[in-house]
Amino acid sequence: MKSRSLTFWLSAYLGMAGLVLFVLLGAGMWQSLRHLVGAAEADKARALANQLAAVSVDAVLIRDYGAIERAVQDLVKSRGLAYVEIRRADGVVMGQAGVASAGNPAFSATMFAAGEPLGEVVAQYDSKPMWDAAWRLAAWAAAAMALFSLVAFMVLRQLLAARLVAPVKALIAGVAPGETRHAVPADAPAEVHELAHALTDLETRVLSHITALEEANQAHNDALRRLCAEQRLATVGQMAGEVAHELNTPLANILGYAQLAQSQTTDAMVRESLDTIVAQTRRAGQIVDDMLTVARAPALTNQRVDLAELARAFSRLVAPLARRQGVRIDVRDGPASSAWADASRIEQILFNLVTNATQAGAHRIELIPAVGALSVVDDGPGVPPEMQSSLFEAFVTSKPPGQGTGLGLAICRRLADEMGGTITLAESAPGHTRFQLSLPTTT
């Protein structure tokens, strides 16, 4: 069922109130008119009866009944009386005119002579003219009241529509998602301004609750992703011991025999095959080492570390291998920078980041030390946008199948967390990718 508008209900209530007021005022005016007209006619009849009693005394004393008859006839004809009668004290009627009616009020006046009653005069006024006059007055009053009520209704309706309904409609039209202020006309009623303030306050609180809920959901999702990553790492940790035990010895034997065979053969095709076996064996060994790192992290030994000196030492350590792969590693000079961290963990993080950059196709890598931070910048192709949000989760990798486990960056994050720091992908674009390791500067 369609709801009625505020304008409709205001019109209906005002109309009903006007109708009730009209009926009540009409009834009151009708009673007042009846009373006033009736009282006026009664006073008129009473006054005429007293006047006739006074002037008829002489005619009664001289028994001039003709004069009495003419007097009563004149009164009935000219004064609007319905019936007039003059009779002596002994009951003899000396003159009468008109027709007596039980519906018309009768008034009597006693005639006195020398203090003795001679008779009485009885007069009845005609109520029909009174009722005609009352109805005419009532009709005019009803018309005037109806006109007044109509004009008052229209004026009140327009006033309410302009001062109340229009501001409310403007307020409703201004309500929109994201709005925090609702403008209303300056001359709107105080209640409309209070409603606007209430809506503004309500929407502000709703928006703050929505923001808090979104932040809570984001935190929940982040925690869930971290939990899944930790569960994956825990699974790897449970498997790592068994895998290392089962694979380390066979891998060492394979590597030893392959290297021995390399030194004993001069056949180029055989040496090429042996080179492949050695490379794949070492790669398998690195995978086992990654899994062992997840399973058994070395004890944390945080101390004051000079990040610039550590970066230079690391660069000198990996420079020969980097040159063979066509990669240049530089350390940006700058003021002394320090952090409270574990040097071995930082070296492991740097090794993973440099290895990833090299495998991604970078040709130049720069280490940038700062107070409490160490950045690794490379000129590789960058990290695909779709992988950036989950880059530090276990088993997430952009390398082709069979060329990576996706554990390197997950290990880096765990090592940074253990030192009380963080590692983030600060920038990523083709030709410029920057990872930043942030570390505490105090214990």
DSSP-assigned states of every residue in 347-374: HHHHHHHHHHHHHHT-SEEEEEEETTEE
Judgement on whether residues 249 and 337 belong to the same structural domain of the protein: no
Q: Which tens digits make up the pLDDT trace of 342-364?
A: 988 898 899 889 988 998 889 99
Closest CA to 300 of 264, 268, 254, 348: 348
d(CA 423, CA 426) in angstroms, rounded, equals: 9
> How does pLDDT run across 49-98, given as a tens digit for each residue?
676 666 666 666 666 667 777 777 776 666 667 777 877 777 777 777 77
Residue 246: phi and psi, rounded to 5, are: -80, -30
Burial zone of 357 (CB within 10 Å; 0-12 exposed, 13-18 middle, 19+ buried):
buried
Please report whether residue 174 resides in a domain. no
Q: CA–CA distance from 304 to each of 339, 348, 372, 402, 440 (Å)? A: 6, 17, 11, 39, 10
Question: What mean pLDDT comes out for the span 126-145?
Answer: 73
Is residue 411 domain-shared with residue 369, that is, in the same domain?
yes
| Largest separation between any pair of C-alpha atoms in the chain | 186
Mutual angle of helices 190-264 and 268-295, in 10-degree steps: 140
Residues 287 and 311 in one domain: no
Residues 274 and 317 in one domain: no
d(CA 244, CA 236): 11
User: For position 306, what pLDDT does the model report?
Assistant: 92
Percent of the chain with pLDDT over 70: 67
Q: Which domain holds residue 284?
A: 189-296
Mean pLDDT in residue range 421-429: 93
On whether both 384 and 422 belong to a single domain, the answer is yes
* 276 inside domain: yes
Tell me whether residue 216 is in a domain: yes
Backbone angles phi, psi at 196, to 5 degrees: -65, -45
Evaluated on CA atoms 7, 9, 15, 21, the torsion sign reads negative
281 and 313 belong to one structural domain: no
Distance from C-alpha of 275 to C-alpha of 258, rounded to nearest angstrom: 8
Q: Average the pLDDT over 97-109 and give the result.
A: 74
The reply to whether 169 falls in a domain is no
CATH assignment of the domain containing 324 = 3.30.565.10
Instruction: Give the pair of three-digit tokens for residue 330.
Output: 């530089």
* CA 27 from centre of chain: 52
Give the β-pairing of 81-88 and 116-125. antiparallel
In a domain, 164, yes or no: no
Question: Does residue 162 form part of some domain?
Answer: no
Interval 208-227 mean pLDDT = 76
Q: Could you give the CA distance from residue 388 to residue 27 in angstroms, rounded to a whole number? A: 86
Same-domain check for residues 254 and 321: no
Q: How many CB atoms lie within 10 A of CB 228?
A: 13
Instruction: Give every CB contact of residue 299 below 8 A, 6+ residues apart in sequence.
Output: none
User: What CATH number corresponds to the domain at position 281?
Assistant: 1.10.287
pLDDT digits (tens, 9 = 90+) for 171-205: 666 665 555 555 656 666 666 666 667 777 777 78
- How far from chain centre, in Å, is Cα 99? 84
- The label of the residue with tokens 């009053």 reads 141
Q: What is the domain count for the chain?
A: 3
Distances (CA, A) of 94 to 23, 61, 65, 87, 278: 50, 12, 6, 5, 163
- Which is nearest to 281 in space by CA: 306, 255, 300? 255
pLDDT for 317: 82
> Which residues, at least 6 apart from 22, have a Cβ–Cβ distance to it below 8 Å?
145, 146, 149
Domain boundary among 296, 326, 354: 296
Identify whether residues 40 and 120 lie together within a single domain.
Answer: yes
Which of 130, 150, 170 is where one domain is finished?
150
Residues 10 and 135 in one domain: yes
How much of the chain is in helix, strand and coil states, percent to nearest 5? Answer: 60, 15, 20
* CATH number of the CATH domain containing 116: 3.30.450
Question: Alpha-carbon dihedral of residues 407, 412, 416, 418, nearest 10 degrees?
Answer: 40
Q: Pick 362 or 142 by higher pLDDT.
A: 362
The residue among 82, 93, 83 whose CA lies nearest residue 120 is 93
Cβ proximity of 437 and 420 under 8 Å: no
Burial of 421 (C-beta count, 10 Å sphere; 0-12/13-18/19+): buried
281/320 same-domain check: no
Q: Which residue has the higher pLDDT, 171 or 266?
A: 266
Of the residues 275, 296, 317, which one is the last residue of a structural domain?
296
For residue 46, the Cα-to-chain-centroid distance in whole angstroms is: 79
Query: Residue 376 has what pLDDT?
Result: 96
What is the model's pLDDT at position 214?
A: 85
Claim to verify: residue 349 and residue 401 sit in the same structural domain: yes
In a domain, 44, yes or no: yes
Contacts of 243 (CB under 8 A, 6+ apart): 288, 291
DSSP-assigned states of every residue in 283-324: HHHHHHHHHHHHHSPPPP--EEEEHHHHHHHHHHHHHHHHHH
State the first-to-last Cα distance of the chain, in angstroms, to the nearest integer.
Answer: 71
Is the residue at 180 inside a domain? no
Instruction: Return the pLDDT at 403.
Output: 55
* 410 and 340 share one domain: yes
pLDDT at res. 322: 84
State percent of the chain over pLDDT 90: 15
Listed as own residue / partner, the contacts of 269-276 with beta carbons closer than 8 Å and 24 or more positions apart are none
pLDDT over 90 at 128, yes or no: no
